[in-house]
Structure 1
Amino acid sequence: MLRSIRTRLEYKILLLLIAVLIAGFGTYVVIRIQSESKALLHQHQEKVRLFSETIVGGIRNVMLTGKSPLTHEFLNDARKNLSFGSLTVYDRFGREVFLREGEGVRYNVDDPLLHQSLETHQMLSTMMREGDKDVFTRYEPLFNRPECWRCHERDPQIRGVLQLALAPGAIRTTNASETARQMASAMGDVLATAFRTIMLGGQGEQMDTLTAKAQGIPWISRIQVYSKDGYVAFGPETEDDIGEEEILELLRTHTQSHHFVEEKKKLRLFIPLQNQDRCQVCHGARFPMRGLMVIDFKMDSLKAYVRDPSKVFTAVLQATTFEGFRSIMLVGRANSVRYFMDELRAIPTFQMLHVFDGKGNERFLNPQPRMRPQLASFGEKKENKPVEFFETVEGEEHMVRLTPIPNEVRCYTCHGKNHDLRAVVEVSASLKTINAEIAASKRESAIAAVVTILLVWLVIRVFMNSVVVSPVKQIEGVASRVGEGDFSVRAEVGSQDEIGTLARRINEMIQGLRERFHLEKFVSRAAVDAVRGVDMVGVKMGGERKLATVFFSDIRGFTSFSEKVEPERVVSMLNGILAKQAAIVRKHGGDIDKFVGDELVAVFLGEGMARRALCAALEIQEELAASPDLTESGAIAIGIGLNTGEMILGAMGSPDRMDFTVIGDHVNLGARLCSSAKPRQILISEGTARDVLDDPEFHCIPLEPFQVKGKEKPVRVYEVRRAYRTS
């Protein structure tokens, strides 16, 4: 092969061309792939950046309303719309908050009593072993009541089961009165937790739902919530309401613990409602207390059940928890139930608290949050700026953007001022698609390069054989024959290029050699050594004054339409509309002056010119309204302006390029009217209106005069519609 390259010109030229192609095409492919990769990566970065900034702004605005549970709904909606990655929110310690929808569910719980309660729709109880003690556990069905049908379908009859067990030692005394107080205190904790959950969910205006449902609990006779000013904010108002001074005194003296007052057959519980940080968005930070919850219990009812306090206490708490749960659901704050359940589980009285749906799956759990420990040092930086980096998760490369949410002054009410960082939003986008596109581009470019080089090699080889190698070989053969003394040969090359010229010079040389060879036979050697090459006549420039009606129509929405569709379709639509307009104009005796883009200009002369122009305008609007295929189903419309007056009609331009048209102030006014007309609207000037106002076929509506450029006074304008007779 190397010998062939050294000895054959064809191979040398081919090798040189292939080397140039590989170098040039390879460089182009590498640069192109790098450019495409950077463009794809930049596009992905922009998507991630815009999404991150949108999420940060949304979280900030929702949180500032004081309705933090709505943030969970906002993030779940955002996750559904995020098709290229995942969204995670961390607190300033690097712990995930606002779990994804569907998390916090334990599927297919293996509990025979649970499934039995779901099947029989009955309350069941058992002694369940917890650690080294047995605890009484109740399974209470949650029925699908009519009040639930607003959000849930009517079937099935049961929505789930509430499982509850008291902590061992929840009943710490055998005294009936003391046991009754313990039961009342635990019930009060549940109702106060439900109250806070509903308020934090932004549904305070529906708090009467809780007070009304709670009064349905057999042991409760009344529940009220008093404001910090001492008046009843929620619950029924009765004649024996507590006085304002007594409420204010209790708010001053009992800010932490429950307070009981026993009156005859009534046990009254006072629960202080502190103004916590999370409450201050709505209530401000000025006052330490928000109010007081007052619950009246039926003392006899409580004492009557203390003979079996464990079972009764469990039933009491379960009924109270159910009413709190139901009230939160009824006010439309289902996402807040998880927080309600978490707070209840933190109460020492509860040993076990679970909610199961109708399929036996446990709901409203808070699983172990995801952690990103490196975020703990994020808040130590003075300037918290977004950070972008790449990481590999389960063998797949991801682009990650961390966007901090700073602790601004307006956030201090809820989050305090002892830290600069509130949270960090993480948007992680998989690069699998981009890497696949880049790999595909590399494969396609490599295949294209190989195919191109092979095709070029084949074409060049055929070309070199026919144009260079074959003629050169023929000249080589002729030269060899001449060298052998044969002067009768000729190089038969017919091309006119350098090789053809070389062949002709070879032939001339052979001819000279042949002549010399024969000449040498007739002369001595000393003699041989001594001899070396229509026009525009009759058309005048200018015009004459004419009374005419000028007609302008312009397509509305054409520019935006032409930007969205193919040019061929735009031209087809434009030609269709202009053709229909032109036909109608000619039908009514008008003369098409010109087409300017999507605008039509026509002139009407002679008797009834204004009426004929107006008839044409109305027919155009009606025809186009009845032709949705032309107007893209109404996306395209026509605005028309008419004016009647004197104008110049004649030849304008230069001697070698003329245009026969109309000009003048009245023409300009007609154009202004057309520009001002709305889609499907016809505007006429006062000059045109004078000829058609009394015509019963037209309904002329005077509009507010408007100022026209070049006019000292506003111009009176009319909108014209076809008059339809009612009889």
Structure 2
Amino acid sequence: MMLLDLLQRRLRVKVIALIAGILIVGFGLLVILNIGREAQVLVDANHETARLLAASILGSIQSGMLQARPDVIRRLVQDLRSELKDVRRLDVYRANGVEAFSDLETLNRVNQLAKLDPEVVKRIYRMHREPGERISHPLFTRAVETITSQETYESLDGGRVLTLFRPLENRKRCQACHGEDHRVRGVVRITLGVEKLDAELRAARNRQIVIAALTILGVAATVVVFLGRVVLEPIARVAAAARRVGAGDFDVRVATVSRDEIGDLGRVINDMADHLKAARADLEARNAELATTLHSLRESMEKVALLEQVKGELAKFRVMPSSRPPCRASRSRWRRLSCSSRSRASWPSSCPSP
């Protein structure tokens, strides 16, 4: 609630909030796009490495098969499992899903079509064991049916792995030993751990987030400082001057340096203060003139009242004409009343001093 009230009252907070929102949204989208693009590059590079490794393993297996040396292939598979740390699984399956180079089914068939070296046959017999679990993976079936490589990410032992299925085609050089009734001899399954890839993806994501955060802070700070000096502080000065003018201080002036809208507003405030000051001076002069006129009017009214009083006094002493001259006392009183009705400035010398 306090933050909302502060947001409603402070222009600086509004500007900072707006800038922060725009930067977060803009750079957030940019970071998401960059993370996705960089992740795709890393994934593609990892796929390429996995394909090269699978092609190398597949070539070695095919070379051993062409030499009719399944014992060499089996030893090669065992060595690769132990030496390559990223290899989680490396298996060769016949087209029917049974593990190859384990039982003697293929050996007996090949030995019938092409007589093998007895020493090789003995070594293979000594390596005989029961086949492992039969594979029934959908991508294995697809690789056999389409004779195309298949790839997928899956979980293994609580971790994420990349599994590749590479078909072993029944080429013309292989048909002398295996016959021509099938197109695919088997499938090589290679499972690679992607811990390094995941670590690189996390590092790339964290790096992008840190760069975006620092960029947002830097840009926001720069924009806020710039707006504070160029916009907010001049507006604050104009507002302070307007408040002082509203309080009656018409001598205040806004320092106008820029020629932008804020400078125009400051000059308008200054012109308004000048006009208000001139209007107040004119009003004070008119008030003084009115006070003088009112004072003169009061004096005139007092004179009129005094004349009315004199008139009343004269009415009391009005007498009928007679042959007798007025007495001295009457003449003296008449002179005083006549002189009192005149102003002091025009007091005649014949009037007695009051």
For the criterion TM > 0.5, the same-fold answer is: yes
Query: How far has the Cα of 1:405 moved from its partner?
Result: 0.8
Q: Distance in 1 between matches of 2:19 and 2:140?
A: 60
Residue in 1 that maps onto 2:202: 439
Q: Does 1:492 align with 2:255?
A: yes
Q: Does 1:26 align with 2:28?
A: yes
Q: Does 1:339 align with 2:124?
A: yes
1:71 aligned residue (55, 73, 86):
73
Structure-2 change in CA distance of 1:337 and 1:65 (3 Å): closer
Structure-2 change in CA distance of 1:375 and 1:382 (3 Å): closer
Residue in 1 that maps onto 2:91: 88
Query: How far has the Cα of 1:78 moved from its partner?
Result: 5.0
- Contact 2:95–2:144 (Cα < 8 Å) also in 1: no
Which letter does structure 1 place at the counterpart of 2:188? V
Query: How far has the Cα of 1:394 moved from its partner?
Result: 0.9
Task: State the Cα deviation string for residues 118-155 of structure 1 (Å, max 9, x = none).
Answer: xxxxxxxxxxxxxxxxxxxxxxxxxxxxxxxxxxxxxx
- Secondary structure of 1:417's match? coil
Q: Distance in 2 between matches of 1:9 and 1:514?
A: 30
- Secondary structure of 1:391's match? strand
- Larger displacement relative to structure 2 (409-418 or 468-477): 409-418
Task: State the Cα deviation string for residues 277-311 of structure 1 (Å, max 9, x = none).
Answer: 3375578xxxxxx9xxxxxxxxxxxxxxxxxxxxx
Q: Distance in 1 between matches of 2:30 and 2:142?
A: 46
- Secondary structure of 2:146's match? coil
Q: Does 1:479 align with 2:242?
A: yes
Q: Distance in 1 between matches of 2:143 and 2:91?
A: 21
Residue in 2 that maps onto 1:15: 17
Query: How far has the Cα of 1:399 moved from its partner?
Result: 1.2
- Contact 2:238–2:266 (Cα < 8 Å) also in 1: yes
Bigger RCO of structures 1 and 2 (CA < 8 A, at least 6 apart): 2
- Secondary structure of 1:476's match? helix
Query: How far has the Cα of 1:392 moved from its partner?
Result: 0.8
Q: Can you give the 5+ residue segments of structure 2 that lack an aligned partner in the other structure? A: 287-354
Which letter does structure 2 place at the counterpart of 1:428? T
Structure-2 change in CA distance of 1:468 and 1:8 (3 Å): same
Q: Distance in 2 between matches of 1:434 and 1:376?
A: 23
- Contact 1:378–1:384 (Cα < 8 Å) also in 2: no
Q: Distance in 1 between matches of 2:34 and 2:134?
A: 40
- Contact 1:397–1:430 (Cα < 8 Å) also in 2: yes
- Contact 2:65–2:73 (Cα < 8 Å) also in 1: yes
Q: Distance in 2 between matches of 1:73 and 1:374?
A: 25
Q: Does 1:383 align with 2:146?
A: yes
Task: State the Cα deviation string for residues 209-266 of structure 1 (Å, max 9, x = none).
Answer: xxxxxxxxxxxxxxxxxxxxxxxxxxxxxxxxxxxxxxxxxxxxxxxxxxxxxxxxxx
Q: Distance in 2 between matches of 1:94 and 1:420?
A: 15
Identity of aligned residues (%): 29
- Secondary structure of 2:248's match? coil
Q: Can you give the 5+ residue segments of structure 1 that lack an aligned partner in the other structure? A: 100-199, 201-274, 284-289, 291-323, 344-365, 524-727
- Secondary structure of 1:467's match? helix
Counting only pairs closer than 5 Å after superposition, residues 6-155 of structure 1 correspond to structure 2 as 6-75=8-77, 79=81, 82-86=84-88, 87-97=90-100
Query: How far has the Cα of 1:34 moved from its partner?
Result: 1.4
Residue in 2 that maps onto 1:411: 174
Task: State the Cα deviation string for residues 8-32 of structure 1 (Å, max 9, x = none).
Answer: 2112211111111111111111111
The CA RMSD over aligned residues, in Å, is 3.8
- Larger displacement relative to structure 2 (466-475 or 514-523): 514-523
- Contact 1:65–1:281 (Cα < 8 Å) also in 2: no
Query: How far has the Cα of 1:422 moved from its partner?
Result: 1.0
Structure-2 change in CA distance of 1:415 and 1:398 (3 Å): same
- Secondary structure of 2:255's match? coil
Q: Distance in 2 between matches of 1:3 and 1:483?
A: 25
Q: Distance in 1 between matches of 2:139 and 2:10?
A: 73
Task: State the Cα deviation string for residues 335-386 of structure 1 (Å, max 9, x = none).
Answer: x87524257xxxxxxxxxxxxxxxxxxxxxx476354234797389643221
Q: Which has the higher strand share?
A: 1
Structure-2 change in CA distance of 1:491 and 1:58 (3 Å): same
Q: Distance in 2 between matches of 1:479 and 1:393?
A: 73
Which letter does structure 2 place at the counterpart of 1:19? G
Residue in 2 that maps onto 1:511: 274
- Contact 2:167–2:184 (Cα < 8 Å) also in 1: yes
Q: Distance in 2 between matches of 1:380 and 1:520?
A: 102
Query: How far has the Cα of 1:5 moved from its partner?
Result: 1.1
- Contact 1:97–1:369 (Cα < 8 Å) also in 2: no
Q: Distance in 2 between matches of 1:24 and 1:92?
A: 53
Query: How far has the Cα of 1:417 moved from its partner?
Result: 3.4
- Secondary structure of 2:233's match? helix
Which letter does structure 2 place at the counterpart of 1:277? V
Which letter does structure 2 place at the counterpart of 1:339? I
Q: Distance in 2 between matches of 1:492 and 1:375?
A: 80
Counting only pairs closer than 5 Å after superposition, residues 190-201 of structure 1 correspond to structure 2 as none
Counting only pairs closer than 5 Å after superposition, residues 318-717 of structure 1 correspond to structure 2 as 338-342=123-127, 366=129, 369-374=132-137, 378=141, 382-495=145-258, 497-515=260-278, 517-518=280-281
Query: How far has the Cα of 1:431 moved from its partner?
Result: 2.2
Task: State the Cα deviation string for residues 304-327 of structure 1 (Å, max 9, x = none).
Answer: xxxxxxxxxxxxxxxxxxxx9xxx
Task: State the Cα deviation string for residues 396-445 of structure 1 (Å, max 9, x = none).
Answer: 11111101112234323322334332111112121222222223333333
Which letter does structure 1 place at the counterpart of 2:190? V
Counting only pairs closer than 5 Å after superposition, residues 184-223 of structure 1 correspond to structure 2 as none
Structure-2 change in CA distance of 1:54 and 1:426 (3 Å): same
Q: Distance in 2 between matches of 1:376 and 1:96?
A: 16
Which letter does structure 1 place at the counterpart of 2:20? I
Q: Distance in 1 between matches of 2:5 and 2:109?
A: 93
Q: Which has the higher helix share?
A: 2
- Contact 1:21–1:453 (Cα < 8 Å) also in 2: yes
Structure-2 change in CA distance of 1:13 and 1:376 (3 Å): closer
Structure-2 change in CA distance of 1:82 and 1:497 (3 Å): farther
Q: Distance in 1 between matches of 2:13 and 2:284?
A: 46
- Secondary structure of 1:443's match? helix
Query: How far has the Cα of 1:521 moved from its partner?
Result: 7.2
TM-score, length-scaled by structure 2: 0.65
Structure-2 change in CA distance of 1:342 and 1:511 (3 Å): closer
Which letter does structure 2 place at the counterpart of 1:92? A
Q: Distance in 2 between matches of 1:80 and 1:481?
A: 86
